[in-house]
A = this chain, B = another copy of it.
Amino acid sequence: MSILIKGGTIITAADTYAADVLIENEKISQIGTDLAREGAQVVDAGGKLLLPGGIDVHTHLSLPFFSTISSDDFYTGHKAAAFGGTTSHIDFATQRKGETLKIALDRWLKKAEGKAVIDHAVHMSITDLRPDILDEIPSMLDAGVTSIKLFMSYVNVYMLDDGDIFKIMEKAAELGMVVLMHAENGYVIDSLIKQNVAAGNLATEFHAKSHPAWAETEATLRAVALAGITGASLYVVHMTCEEVVDQLRYGRERGLPVMGETCPQYLFFTEDELRRPDGAKWVFSPPLRTKKDNDYLWRALAEGHLQSVGTDHCPFLFDGTKPLMYEGEPYQMPGKEMGAGDFSKIPNGTHGIEDRMLMLWSYGVRQGRLSPNRFVEVTATNPAKIFGMYPKKGTIAAGSDADIVIWDPEATKTVSWKTHHSRTDFNIYEGTELVGLPEKVYVRGTLLVDGEEWYGKPGSGRYLHRTPFAPII
């Protein structure tokens, strides 16, 4: 069946214009003025905007962490994503010590099976670099995995030393893969956490004090330098503050192939949140910084110093001692309460996959900090380009997948965990007023969301096989 969306205004990363859109066979087949198509379902988008479906390249669904697991799986997370206007995401398959990348990838693919509603891909996290693993990396391309995640932090868990990182980057450069980096100095953080715990500094705010901005700042330049030496494309995840972005800029101004992302939480909150009684909701790594940094990150997004907005979506229940009802079923899992009395035991992470585009629109576009085009660029187009999914994903153009959000710029809503779609018992933006919301959300021409209605079918989401040698944005 074909669908004809009439009367909307298309927003791409560069253009804004009124036109009709014809969807056929999951794709956008025509964009034109006064289009007509016999038999097509006509959708009226008068007064509305047509945005490409969002792409969140940084999520952790069903992630085991400490002795629990993140509370959104590939169904609940996808539902939340769709209600937030996001139609594709990239999750992380994490290699366990001793295992091969293939095993890690298969384990992850299984998680999506029968659950996925939106389209999805995976980055490969390497945590144990043996010679056979170095040799296994090229096979990832056959599986459509074009990006590798590395950690400079989490000593003895995920962290690799600079020698291993260097070797992987050399390989990535050769294969045209992108390296995602968690850039914090693991040794510093490990020492500070231990010292704080030993000194009885157990309050939640010590989470931030144990992750100083300088530890993230130096690690960022370190990653940038390694990219410069090896020639690998680098994508620094979850950048939190001005000093950190300065390092990315320093590399970019000298022609290095480096890019970076921030996440909504770093645009809205400061470390002061950690001193709230429910501060654990805002515990994630790297931590929140200062008001100056919120302001700077908005500007860095607008001015092009940051290229993308991901979420690091990785929610845990705030109170895992009680079941949470989700689609009529009780869900229970240990959560933030594990760290009551000891900040170092709080599971790191919060939600965002549903909030990302909503918050960026209302407080970015609406408040004049981002143009609608730049909004599209950082939430969809750049992510698609950087990670090898473009132009199939990331724009509204003839031939692209019909991942379209009909966005009502005047619709309003108040954020609440009671009405959101992520499987969490809190929302860090609770009570925030939104202006501008998705009205209808299509993935490959299939309607998933219509206002408050949910039409998503578990298992209908597709795995995205990606292409290497993507451009530096």
Could you say which of B29, B215, B218, B381 contacts A33, with CB atoms under 8 Å apart?
Answer: B29
The copy count of this chain in the complex is: 4
Number of interface residues of A (CB under 8 A): 65
Q: Could you tell me the distance in whole angstroms from the C-beta of A164 to the nearest C-beta in chain B?
A: 8
User: Contacts of A226 on B, CB cut-off 8 Å?
Assistant: 188, 214, 218
Name which of A7-15, A53-61, A283-291, A424-432 contacts chain B: A7-15
Q: Which of A19, A155, A225, A254 has the most CB of B within 10 A?
A: A225
A470 located at the interface, meaning its Cβ lies under 8 Å from any Cβ of chain B in the complex: no
Name which of A112-120, A272-280, A395-403 contacts chain B: A395-403
Given known pairs A15-B14, A188-B226, A218-B222, the reply for A32 and B27 (CB within 8 Å) is no
On whether the beta carbons of B229 and A225 are closer than 8 Å, the reply is no
On whether the beta carbons of B185 and A222 are closer than 8 Å, the reply is yes
A471 located at the interface, meaning its Cβ lies under 8 Å from any Cβ of chain B in the complex: yes
On whether the beta carbons of A191 and B166 are closer than 8 Å, the reply is yes
Nearest B residue (CB) for A473: B371
Nearest B residue (CB) for A223: B218
A433 located at the interface, meaning its Cβ lies under 8 Å from any Cβ of chain B in the complex: no
On whether the beta carbons of A395 and B15 are closer than 8 Å, the reply is yes
A31 located at the interface, meaning its Cβ lies under 8 Å from any Cβ of chain B in the complex: yes
Instruction: Tell me the bound Cα distance from A14 to B14 in angstroms.
Output: 5
On whether the beta carbons of B163 and A187 are closer than 8 Å, the reply is yes
On whether the beta carbons of A27 and B33 are closer than 8 Å, the reply is yes
User: Contacts of A17 on B, CB cut-off 8 Å?
Assistant: 391, 395, 397-400
User: Contacts of A381 on B, CB cut-off 8 Å?
Assistant: 14-15
Instruction: Tell me the bound Cα distance from A335 to B35 in angstroms.
Output: 54
Q: Which residues of A, 212-233, contact B by the 8 Å Cβ criterion? A: 212, 214-215, 217-218, 221-222, 224-226, 228-229
On whether the beta carbons of B33 and A22 are closer than 8 Å, the reply is no
Instruction: Tell me the bound Cα distance from A214 to B257 in angstroms.
Output: 14
Q: Which of A161, A254, A399 has the most CB of B within 10 A?
A: A399
User: Contacts of A451 on B, CB cut-off 8 Å?
Assistant: none
Instruction: Tell me the bound Cα distance from A236 to B38 in angstroms.
Output: 51
User: Contacts of A31 on B, CB cut-off 8 Å?
Assistant: 30-32, 397-398
User: Contacts of A254 on B, CB cut-off 8 Å?
Assistant: 243
A252 located at the interface, meaning its Cβ lies under 8 Å from any Cβ of chain B in the complex: yes
User: Contacts of A192 on B, CB cut-off 8 Å?
Assistant: 229
On whether the beta carbons of B32 and A398 are closer than 8 Å, the reply is yes
Instruction: Tell me the bound Cα distance from A441 to B228 in angstroms.
Output: 41
On whether the beta carbons of A214 and B187 are closer than 8 Å, the reply is no
Instruction: Tell me the bound Cα distance from A88 to B64 in angstroms.
Output: 59
On whether the beta carbons of B398 and A19 are closer than 8 Å, the reply is yes
Interface residues of A (CB under 8 A from B): 10, 12-20, 22, 27, 29-35, 155, 161-163, 166-167, 185, 187-188, 190-192, 212, 214-215, 217-218, 221-222, 224-226, 228-229, 243, 246-247, 250, 252-255, 299, 303-304, 371, 373, 377, 381, 391, 395, 397-400, 471
Q: List 14 A–B pairs whose Cβ atoms lie within 8 Å, in order of A's numbering.
A: A12-B14, A13-B14, A15-B397, A31-B31, A32-B398, A33-B398, A163-B190, A166-B191, A185-B222, A218-B221, A218-B222, A218-B225, A222-B222, A253-B303
Closest 6 CB pairs of A and B: A30-B32, A13-B14, A14-B14, A218-B225, A163-B187, A19-B398
Q: Apart from A17-B395, A163-B191, what are 11 other A-B pairs with CB-CB below 8 Å?
A: A15-B391, A16-B391, A19-B399, A31-B397, A33-B398, A161-B161, A162-B187, A166-B187, A166-B191, A188-B226, A215-B225
